[in-house]
């Protein structure tokens, strides 16, 4: 676990994630449930929710980014550089460009692109809103 980039510097406890959890809890229990102004209450809940996104991103972000890169390299048939983030950004731009140019309209490339894009959106939601993802997945259309 010490190989993770965000844990390279040894800091005292609590960890980054534990601090975020503490602030999210504070916002939910001590702020949101005690303020009477409902607009302020709503914003406190938004803030708490944003922190849970950051928590999940710290936990899964790196793994998901690497998986996304692996899929993109295969899909677009390119070789990796030593910068995972830059790779994903460049390839996603290229993918968006090709879709818009009509190069992914039909056939096996369309299917591969669609599968990759859907998987990527699902992974974004695992970070941004796993409850929503679960709700939509359980729905039978």
Partner 1 sequence: MPLSPAELQTALENQLRALTQSEVRVENLRLLAGGASQQLWSLDLSVASGETSGNYRLVLRRQLGGKIYRDALDLEREFRVMQIAYASDVSLPYPQIFLPDLLGRPAALLHRKEGETIGRRIVRDATFENARKRLPAQMGEMLARIHRVNVERHNMRLFLPHPPVEYSPARWEIKQLEHNLEDVGEPHPALELGIRWLHRNEPPAPKNLVWLHGDYRIGNVVVNQDGLVSILDWEFSHLGDPYQDLSWPLLRDWRFGNDALQFGGIAQPDDFFAAYERASNTTLDPARVHYWIVLNNVRWAVGMLNQARRHLSGEEPNLEFASLGRRCAELELEVLRLIEGR
Find the shortest distance in angstroms from Cβ 5 to partner 1.
22
Find the shortest distance in angstroms from Cβ 2 to partner 1.
29
Q: Toward partner 1, which CB reaches closer, 2 or 38?
A: 38
Q: Toward partner 1, which CB reaches closer, 12 or 54?
A: 54
Q: Which long-range contacts (CB under 8 A, 24 or more apart) does 53-60 make?
A: 53/127, 53/128, 53/129, 54/20, 55/17, 55/20, 55/21, 55/24, 56/126, 56/127, 56/130, 57/127, 58/6, 58/16, 58/17, 58/20, 59/17, 60/126, 60/127
Find the shortest distance in angstroms from Cβ 43 to partner 1.
6
Q: Which segments of 77-104 does DSSP mark as H helices, in order?
A: 84-100
Q: Toward partner 1, which CB reaches closer, 19 or 50?
A: 50
Site residues for partner 1 per CB under 8 A: 39, 43, 46-47, 49-50, 53, 89, 92-93, 95-96, 99-100, 102, 104-105, 113-114, 117-118, 120-122, 124-125, 127-129, 132-133, 135-136, 139, 141
Q: How far apart are CA 116 and CA 75, in angstroms?
A: 8
Q: Toward partner 1, which CB reaches closer, 25 or 124?
A: 124
């Amino acid at each position: 676990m010490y190989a993770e980039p965000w844990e390279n510097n040894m800091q005292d406890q609590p960890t980054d994630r534990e601090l975020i959890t503490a602030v999210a809890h504070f916002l939910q229990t001590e702020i949101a449930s005690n303020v009477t102004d409902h607009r302020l209450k709503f914003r406190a809940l938004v803030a708490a929710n944003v922190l849970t996104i950051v928590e999940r991103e710290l936990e899964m972000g790196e793994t998901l980014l690497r998986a996304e890169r692996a899929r993109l390299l295969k899909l677009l048939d390119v070789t990796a550089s030593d910068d995972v983030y830059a790779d994903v950004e460049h390839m996603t731009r290229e993918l968006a460009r090709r879709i818009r140019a009509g190069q992914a309209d039909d056939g096996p490339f369309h299917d591969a692109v669609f599968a990759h894009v859907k998987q990527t959106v699902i992974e974004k939601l695992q970070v941004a809103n796993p409850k929503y993802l679960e709700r939509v997945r359980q729905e039978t259309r």
